[in-house]
Chains A and B, each alone.
Chain A
């Protein structure tokens, strides 16, 4: 504790209260530094000549509190040293993750929030109501349209790519020659930038030229023409659309996105499933062979259940990732995300309102997305827990 200087009876001159206060304070501050200095000196000195047995003996004899200042400091530091290692990550997460989440939650309820001045015109659910009603005063696809887009992309592409990955992994697992080479090739898309892949996909599907003078119909349409079908406008504004009242489904564009998502999701899924399959004991397959199981039976009754923990992991993370899809859409359809944002995803919607400064809607949208992902993941866990075998 602070070495309180005795300014009482032994001092001949008695100061007034004001001066006494400052002397006292100064003494306490000095005492604090002296104390820490003693602790540090003891601490380092302690390292040099600390005899562990002697320390233990002191501890028993003196009943703990009589330890040297340095020993106490050292023990305290040791007990709490975990924090020291966590601190760098923790500080960064507090600043860049937890604070923004908290801020988004708070600001989502501020009406007409001005990010520069920090002013707002009331607190309530108005942002949410306007976002859900599509009453945000700007053009482009509504939140609901974006949500439908996102959900459909996810619900179709994630199970499809997981299924394909399962089948490809089984095939990969059953070949011996060039297995490593195929594995490497299949993993390559994972290392490719998603914007670059989007651009490549766009060229596969885009018709270049004017209506009267088409230069090329794109790779996919070439194939369709080869099969005797009419070329489809996959990317541009004239692309075919189903109108369902407030919601529009530009199905041709959907196909482009889903093909892209399935393809780009494959490598990681194959990696996970393939390595899981390699760790399955070969005797199960020998037993199945003796018991006359067909390839189909082996896949669906042995391999798939054995990798079911990995499948459920891929479905859960795939759906979470799918709900946050954004870059691929920009890569394929450009910054406008199709025609007037008609291919927009929920994250795309949020970015749009960050861009034009209407932060309130962006915050509300992100809170809604958070809630939706939370609910989906909860359902997911309930369902997969029931159907997953853990070895």
Chain B
């Protein structure tokens, strides 16, 4: 099912009298093609969960429209939208067995017992919990509980599957495994899926389309790689990537980009103050290089090594450069010189923080 979000806005009135109302989501426009896995990404409080709940029908928007295919569902009740929702803490009914939990939506649809059993078993097979059907939720591990929650959402064959922070309650290893699982289930069922996360790595790794949000405003929409390679503004550049991008205070003078006294790139823009963003993998060691970095220490990771340096223009305490492990660095050097890969260097206006392309 295609989802179209048009000028969606949610304003929560202030709790205190005369306080400012909270604009949780502002003028959001997204087109989601059918059968895609979409990640809403942003720091906490950016309105991504609110967006998800508006899609589910549990929250009603202050203004704007939501279309499923061509049907306007903005005012449609949650149960009539044909969605499956997986809550952050799963919301499994503690007094029901796994089977009863999965069957619950079917019981409400008044589906016959045999068919219901078959469908519940199918859903359980899909998430690989068919052996646990007789257990109660408190007898399951966190990962298993989450599978039950996904099965419960899938069993009614929803048009849209919504996941609210699906991985945040799992430990690190399980998280890796589960995110692949979600990708697999989504691919097998072909259901348009929207999920919310604050973990950029998680979003980058499984999304078809990623939506980066900040304070209720959509910053950028696109494929994860293209957002990473071509961020719209400083926030997006900063939010994506581990280790994070290095940001320097710099300036443009006569078509040349300066960091401190050194020229690191050429540009067509007029003279102005800028932020220069350089991805950690954008450094090439060169004894005659353009940028001089005082080295703090070098971390050897096996596959590559990471030079941890400092720079007086850097907005962060350290500068990180990742270079291949077979590049030989002079031993005991206190300063290293680097050339910068042009496509790993981004310029942002110092005032608006917008990208200068």
User: Would you list which residues of chain B between 123 and 154 have a CB under 8 Å from chain A?
Assistant: 152
Interface residue B156 (Cβ < 8 Å from any Cβ of A) = yes
User: When the two chains form their complex, are residues B152 and A291 in contact, meaning their CB atoms are under 8 A apart?
Assistant: yes
The residues of B that contact A283 with a CB separation of less than 8 Å are: 87, 89, 91
Number of A residues with CB within 8 Å of any CB on chain B: 20
Across the two chains, which residue of chain A brings its CB closest to B152?
A291
Pick from B77, B79, B83, B91: contact of A284, CB below 8 A.
Answer: B91
Decide: B104 and A305 in contact? CB cutoff 8 A. no
A307 CA / B30 CA spacing, docked (Å): 42
B64-86: CB near A (< 8 Å → 1, else 0) gives 00000000000001111001110
Query: Which of these binds chain B: A28-36, A186-194, A292-300?
Result: A292-300
User: Which of A283, A291, A305, A308 has the most B CB atoms < 10 Å from its CB?
Assistant: A291
A297 to B100, CA, bound (A): 13
A390 to nearest B CB, angstroms?
9
Q: How far is the CB of A80 from chain B (nearest CB, A)?
A: 41
For A301, list chain B residues within 8 Å (CB).
93, 96, 104
B303 interface contact, C-beta 8 A: no
Report the separation of the CA atoms of residues A289 and B85 in the bound assembly, to the nearest whole angstrom. Answer: 10
Check B292 for interface membership: any CB of A closer than 8 A: no
> Is there contact, CB below 8 Å, between A290 and B95?
no
Q: CA–CA, A292 to B107, complex, Å? A: 9
Asked if A391 is an interface residue, CB under 8 A from chain B, the answer is yes
| Most chain B Cβ neighbours within 10 Å, of A283, A293, A294 | A283
Chain A residues with CB under 8 A of B152? 291
Using A284-B93, A306-B95 as known contacts, say yes or no to A290 and B83 having CB atoms under 8 A apart: yes
Which A residues touch B85, using CB under 8 A?
286-287, 290
Between A290, A291, A302, A308, the greatest number of chain B beta carbons within 10 A of the residue's beta carbon is seen for A290
CB distance from B162 to the nearest CB of A (A): 9
Q: How far is the CB of B339 from chain A (nearest CB, A)?
A: 53
B87 and A291 contacting across the interface, CB-CB below 8 Å: no
Which single residue of chain B is at the shortest CB-CB distance from A389?
Answer: B95
Supposing A283-B87, A294-B108 touch, asked if A289 and B93 sit within 8 A by C-beta, the answer is: no
**How many whole Å from B28's CB to the nearest CB in chain A?**
21
Q: Does A281 contact B (CB under 8 A)?
A: yes
What sequence of 0s and 1s flags, for each residue 93-119 of chain B, a beta carbon within 8 Å of any chain A beta carbon? 111100000001101110000000000
Which residue of chain B has the shortest Cβ distance to A285 in the bound complex?
B91
For chain A, what secondary structure do more than half of its interface residues adopt (helix, strand, loop), or is it mixed?
A: helix
Q: Is B193 an interface residue (CB 8 A)?
A: no
| Residue B232 at the chain A interface, CB threshold 8 Å | no
CB distance from B180 to the nearest CB of A (A): 25
Give Cα A288–Cα B107 distance, bound, in whole angstroms: 11
B56 within 8 A of A: yes
Bound: A391/B96 CA distance, A: 11
Given A294-B108, A297-B108, answer yes or no on A289-B91 (Cβ-Cβ < 8 Å).
Answer: no
Tell me if B58 is interfacial: C-beta within 8 Å of chain A. Answer: yes
Contact A291 B79 (CB under 8 A): yes
Interchain CB contact under 8 A, B94 and A391: yes
Q: A283-B87, A286-B58 are in contact. Are A293 and B93 (CB under 8 A)?
A: no
Question: Which B14-57 residues sit within 8 Å CB-CB of chain A?
Answer: 56-57
Tell me the chain A residues, 261-295 only, with Cβ under 8 Å from chain B.
Answer: 281, 283-284, 286-294
Residue of A nearest to B89 (CB): A283
CB pair A289–B94 under 8 Å, yes or no, is no
CA distance A296 to B78 in the complex (A): 17
Contacts of A290 in B (CB 8 A): 56-58, 78-79, 83-85
Is there contact, CB below 8 Å, between A291 and B105? yes
Query: If the complex has contacts A292-B79, A293-B104, are A286 and B87 also in contact, measured as CB distance less than 8 A?
Result: yes
Q: A283-B87, A286-B87, A287-B85 are known contacts. Are A292 and B105 too (CB-CB below 8 A)?
A: yes
| Across-interface contacts of B87 in A (CB, < 8 A) | 283, 286-287
List residues of chain B with CB within 8 A of the CB of A287: 85, 87, 91, 93
Contacts of B104 in A (CB 8 A): 288, 291, 293, 301
A289 partner, pick from B78, B109, B156, beta carbons under 8 A:
B78
CA distance A306 to B156 in the complex (A): 24
Most chain B beta-carbon neighbours within 10 Å: one of A287, A288, A297, A391: A287
Q: Which residues of B contact A306 (CB under 8 A)?
A: 94-95
Residue of A nearest to B92 (CB): A287
Bound form: Cα–Cα A308–B95 in Å: 10
Interface residues of A (CB under 8 A from B): 281, 283-284, 286-294, 297, 301-302, 305-306, 308, 389, 391
Closest 10 pairs between A and B when the two form their complex, measured CB to CB: A389-B95, A292-B79, A291-B105, A305-B95, A283-B91, A287-B91, A292-B108, A290-B85, A290-B78, A293-B108
B residues neighboring A (CB under 8 Å): 56-58, 77-80, 83-85, 87, 89, 91, 93-96, 104-105, 107-109, 152, 156
A-B residue pairs in contact (CB < 8 Å), sample of 12: A283-B91, A284-B93, A287-B85, A287-B93, A289-B77, A290-B58, A290-B78, A291-B79, A291-B104, A291-B156, A294-B108, A301-B96
Additional A-B contact list (13), CB under 8 Å, known A281-B91, A297-B107, A301-B96: A283-B89, A286-B58, A287-B87, A288-B104, A289-B78, A290-B56, A290-B58, A291-B105, A292-B80, A292-B105, A292-B109, A293-B79, A389-B95
